[in-house]
Amino acid sequence: MAEKRSLVTIANLTRDKIMYLIEMAAEFEKHPNRKLLEGKVVATLFFEPSTRTRLSFETAANRLGARVIGFTDPKVTSSSKGETLKDTLMMVSNYADVIVMRHYLEGAARYASEVASVPIVNAGDGANQHPSQTLLDLYSIYKTQGTLENLHIYLVGDLKYGRTVHSLLMAMRHFHPVFHFIAPTELAMPEEYKLYCEKNGIQYVEEQRFDEKSIAEADILYMTRVQRERFTDLMEYERVKNSYILRASMLGRVKPTMKILHPLPRVNEITYDVDDDPHAYYFEQAHNGLFAREAIICDVLGISLEEVKADKTILG
Ligand code: CP
């Protein structure tokens, strides 16, 4: 039951389910404050650092009337005494109605959904998946472009370790995108994701050029941070960390409707002069995460879009 309702990977979501969750997020954007989850407990277990994902999930739970328990650092839990992930999840299943978990191991969320008796929401597992980020990305793309169909999406930076780009390309398989993968050779999109594109009829091109001319046709410019924490060789990180930097001076030829997204945090890959440009959308994108995560928590708890629309617990 928990496994069935969990959000572990974006790969399982149908086109209809994605559009359904986008519609639910839009309902929450109209009225974020409700008592829909009164009496529920949401646990946030973060085995890796986070600002946006944890705080927006916790805000989502609080704004819907749930209570929140959890930890932001596994060192303060009994996992530091050797307690296994399985035992930790069994314990927390006794206390909470849903578990939001970020873990450094790829596959940890899948495992959690198999051993926990309550639904699991994957808040990022290693370099693998970040499905709640993808739902907020899709919501942001839909809001700014009016559609998810036939878009040119440029993924820039760390395409090897960036779980957000892996999840996004899987979700977009329903919507006929053309992806442009822009990365240094060391951080190129892994073969498994290129194969995924080929099997699912997703068009892509690989490029290394990144300048005013090369981004002129983009609908979405999705910048990413080079993920220092995933490198085993820090010399390699030093070699590639400044590969692609977006500056305001590069935006002269872009489409008027083009939006710049970034899952954040940024390090240096978008200069501060871009923040005031009308194409910059990354802070609004992070705000959209609140509404997308309200929708996700409700969905895994079995609250339907119809119930959200009919909800009479809206607060001021
Ligand atoms: N985008 C994202 O996952 O941000 P945090 O690491 O701050 O949660």
**Mean pLDDT, rounded, for 89-117:** 97
Q: Is the pLDDT of residue 1 over 50?
A: no
**Worst-scoring range by mean pLDDT, 22-31, 58-67, 154-163, 225-234?**
225-234
State in Å: Cα 54 to ligand 1 middle. 8
Tell me the CA–centroid distance for residue 52 and ligand 1, in Å: 5
Q: 246 C-alpha to center of ligand 1: Å?
A: 20
pLDDT number for residue 15: 98
231 versus 250: which is more confidently predicted? 250
Contact 264 CB / ligand 1 (< 6 Å): yes
pLDDT tens digit sequence for 244-271:
999 999 999 999 999 999 999 999 999 9
Summarised one tens digit per residue, pLDDT across range 149-189 is 999 999 999 999 999 999 999 999 999 999 999 999 989 99
- Judged against a pLDDT cut of 90, whether residue 238 lies above it is answered with no
- Any ligand 1 atom below 6 A from CB of 80: no
Enumerate the active-site residues.
Answer: 52-53, 81, 102, 130
Smallest CA separation from ligand 1 atom 1, residue: 263
CA angle 56, 315, 18 (to 5 degrees): 45
Which ligand 1 atom is at minimum distance from the Cα of 55? 8
Q: If you measure from the C-alpha of residue 263 to the centroid of ligand 1, how many angstroms do you get, rounded to a whole number? A: 7
pLDDT for 21 equals 98
Residues 315/34, Cβ–Cβ less than 8 Å: yes
Q: Please indicate whether residue 88, judged by its CB atom, sits closer than 6 Å to ligand 1.
A: no
Judged by phi (left if over 0) then psi (alpha if -120 to 50, else beta), residue 46 lies in: beta
The pLDDT mean for the chain works out to 96
Record the pTM.
0.95
Question: Chain-centre distance of CA 299, in angstroms?
Answer: 16
Q: By alpha-carbon position, which residue is closest to atom 7 of ligand 1?
A: 51
List pLDDT tens digits, range 105-144.
999 999 999 999 999 999 999 989 999 999 999 999 999 9
pLDDT band at 23 (very low <50, low <70, confident <90, very high): very high
Roughly how many angstroms between the first and final C-alpha of the chain, as a whole number?
35
Question: Is residue 225 in contact with ligand 1, taking CB distance under 6 Å?
Answer: no
pLDDT in tens, 262-298: 999 999 999 999 999 999 999 999 999 999 999 999 9
Tell me whether residue 29 is exposed, middle or buried, using C-beta atoms within 10 angstroms of its C-beta: 0 to 12, 13 to 18, 19 or more: middle
* Domains of the chain by start residue, with CATH: 2-128+289-310 (3.40.50.1370), 131-285 (3.40.50.1370)
- Specify the pLDDT at position 2: 55
- Please report the atom of ligand 1 found closest to the CA of residue 286: 1
- CB of 52 sitting under 6 A from ligand 1: yes
